[in-house]
């Protein structure tokens, strides 16, 4: 190799910075423009298409070409004793090593890279890292909301009356249920009060007294006042929290609204209104299988119709994780570093392919234009969207620019590291590391950029913008 490894590292770092400079540029643009949601979604889709194209052409295609060259070389060697597989593969620009092994290693490395990204992303999300983008906020809070709703449905499934709610109306049911926390000795309702709600005890305990005498204590899993949903009759006891107690509350007003929506529920109400409370409780035990069956069918229906978190829910999460700027920043790092590392490995591969050409290797000969251009095209809208989110969270302009500028420098260093790691390791192991970065990068596109694009811009704008981004990155091949 005519150029020293440090020179090639500097070349790669410069190219990595050229691609990453779009990050602070996009953040800066967020201070002067307030693009529409469709525009943000289209830009995210455009960037996603550019990144997928860049990876396909600069990461996957060279290994496919080397594999095809190896097959051709083996065919030649078998028929006319050519220079052999290794020589032909070297001339075709391979990474070195056995092409079949390299290709399998690339795939395995990509899968592992995707898993690593998911694990790291989840760990950071638990500390507030999901707030770095609206897409990650939407995904994280939607999962939290779905888990909360599933738990609520399993609780409510123990109430025979509520099992009459058809699965098509479970979304309205869980939205109607409110969560509330009572402290020890708080009075939940008094004897003689109007029975205008029922409650389900999730944790803690509720003591019931009639005419001042203790009747019993209800613990987690207990249902109190379901008959009130039918009759609204006065309370026959006073309910008091015996410890910090979390309950689910369904008001009679919301229940009557559900009853009006569902003939099945209305019929069940009329049937059950004639039964005694003791008989209903007996049926809870007898119908355990029905409880499970309704809960599972309801959860299945809920998962198909789960709604996205509201702006208020996102704002509450921002307040809850207000002290997590480092997690947000690290989240941006795991999004940006893998793609920069791939720039370094791409530069090294081009240097290896051109090192025997007359005149030696020059900087302008080894620029992976599709990769650098595709990443630049994706980084700008990604930073623009993320900076808008950070601004909504109260980050100052100086802090936003500082964080994105530091990230650009880190990405530049990651590109140099891609060269250094690739040149220091066995060729097959280097391909595996390259696959790790590429897998993490593709997972990032699919899990953050495309969901945000579809949510903000809609499927039509996102689909067409992704197509344009793909071919825009392809066009950079004309510059090589």
How is the chain split into domains, by residue range? Answer: 5-128+321-479, 146-306
pLDDT at 450: 84
Quote the CA–CA distance of 204 and 220 in Å, as a whole number. 6
For residue 377, count CB atoms less than 10 angstroms from its CB and return exposed for 0-12, middle for 13-18, buried for 19 or more. Answer: buried
Cα 302 → chain centroid: 19
Q: Which helix (H) or strand (E) covers residue 201, if one does? A: strand 197-203
b/e for 440-476, b at 16 or more Cβ within 10 A? bbbbbbebbbbbbbbbbbeeebbbebbebbbebbbeb
Question: In the prediction, which pLDDT does 186 show?
Answer: 92
- pLDDT score, position 282: 47
CA 17 to CA 401: how far, in whole Å? 15
> Which pLDDT score is estimated for 13?
92
Residues 6+ apart with CB under 8 A from 316: none
Using DSSP's 3-state secondary structure scheme, residue 235 falls into: coil
Give the residue among 232, 247, 273, 122 at the shortest CA–CA distance from 186: 247
CATH 2.60.120.10 fits 146-306, yes or no: yes
Contact in structure between 356 and 346 (CB atoms under 8 Å): no
pLDDT of residue 370: 77
Nearest Cα neighbor of 434 from 91, 6, 58, 10 is 58
For 50, the token pair is 């550019």
pLDDT in tens, 323-337: 455 566 676 677 778
- Would you state the pLDDT for residue 84? 46
| pLDDT of res. 160 | 67
Q: Is the pTM of this model over 0.85?
A: no
Q: Which helix (H) or strand (E) holds 287?
A: none
- Which residues in the chain come in under a pLDDT of 70? 1-3, 79-97, 128-139, 160-161, 164, 167-168, 268-269, 271-329, 331-332, 353, 355-360, 393, 479-480
Q: What is the pLDDT of residue 365?
A: 74
d(C-alpha 6, C-alpha 18), whole Å = 18
């Amino acid at each position: 190799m005519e150029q020293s490894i440090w020179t090639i590292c500097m070349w790669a770092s410069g190219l990595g910075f050229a691609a990453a400079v779009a990050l602070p540029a996009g953040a800066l643009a967020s201070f002067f423009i307030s693009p529409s949601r469709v525009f943000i979604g289209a830009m995210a889709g455009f960037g996603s298409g550019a990144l997928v194209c860049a990876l396909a052409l600069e990461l996957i295609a060279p290994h496919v070409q080397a594999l095809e060259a190896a097959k051709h070389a083996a065919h030649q060697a078998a028929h006319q004793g050519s220079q052999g597989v290794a020589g032909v593969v070297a001339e075709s620009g391979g990474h070195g090593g056995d092409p079949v092994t390299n290709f399998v290693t690339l795939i395995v490395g990509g899968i592992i890279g995707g898993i690593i990204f998911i694990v790291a992303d989840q760990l950071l999300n638990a500390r507030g890292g999901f707030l770095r983008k609206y897409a990650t906020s939407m995904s994280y809070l939607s999962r939290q909301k779905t888990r909360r709703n599933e738990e609520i449905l399993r609780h409510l499934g123990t109430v025979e009356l509520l099992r009459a709610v058809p699965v098509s109306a479970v979304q309205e049911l869980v939205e109607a249920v409110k969560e509330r926390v009572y402290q020890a000795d708080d009075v939940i309702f008094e004897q003689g009060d109007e029975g205008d709600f029922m409650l389900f005890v999730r944790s803690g305990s509720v003591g019931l007294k009639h005419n001042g005498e203790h009747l019993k204590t209800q613990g987690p899993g207990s249902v109190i006042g379901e008959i009130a949903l039918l009759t609204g009759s006065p309370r026959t006891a006073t309910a008091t929290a015996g410890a910090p107690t979390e309950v689910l509350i369904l008001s009679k007003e919301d229940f009557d609204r559900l009853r009006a929506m569902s003939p099945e529920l209305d019929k069940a109400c009329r049937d059950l209104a004639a039964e005694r409370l003791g008989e209903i409780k007996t049926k809870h035990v007898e119908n355990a299988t029905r409880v499970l069956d309704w809960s599972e069918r309801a959860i299945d229906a809920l998962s198909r119709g789960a709604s996205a978190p509201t702006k208020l829910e996102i704002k509450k999460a921002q307040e809850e994780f207000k002290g997590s700027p480092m997690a947000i920043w690290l989240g941006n790092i795991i999004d940006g570093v893998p793609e920069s590392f791939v720039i370094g490995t791409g530069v090294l591969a081009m240097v290896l392919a051109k090192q025997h050409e007359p005149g030696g290797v020059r900087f302008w000969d080894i620029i992976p234009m599709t990769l650098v251009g595709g990443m630049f095209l994706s980084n700008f809208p990604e930073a623009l969207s993320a900076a808008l989110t950070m601004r909504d969270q109260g980050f100052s302009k100086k802090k936003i620019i500082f964080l994105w500028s530091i990230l650009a420098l880190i990405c530049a260093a990651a590109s140099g590291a891609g060269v250094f790691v690739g040149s220091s390791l066995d060729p097959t192991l280097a391909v595996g590391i390259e696959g790790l970065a590429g897998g993490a990068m593709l997972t990032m596109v699919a899990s953050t950029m495309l969901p945000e694009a579809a949510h903000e811009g809609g499927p039509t704008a996102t689909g067409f913008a992704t197509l344009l981004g793909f071919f825009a990155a392809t066009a950079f091949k004309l510059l090589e």
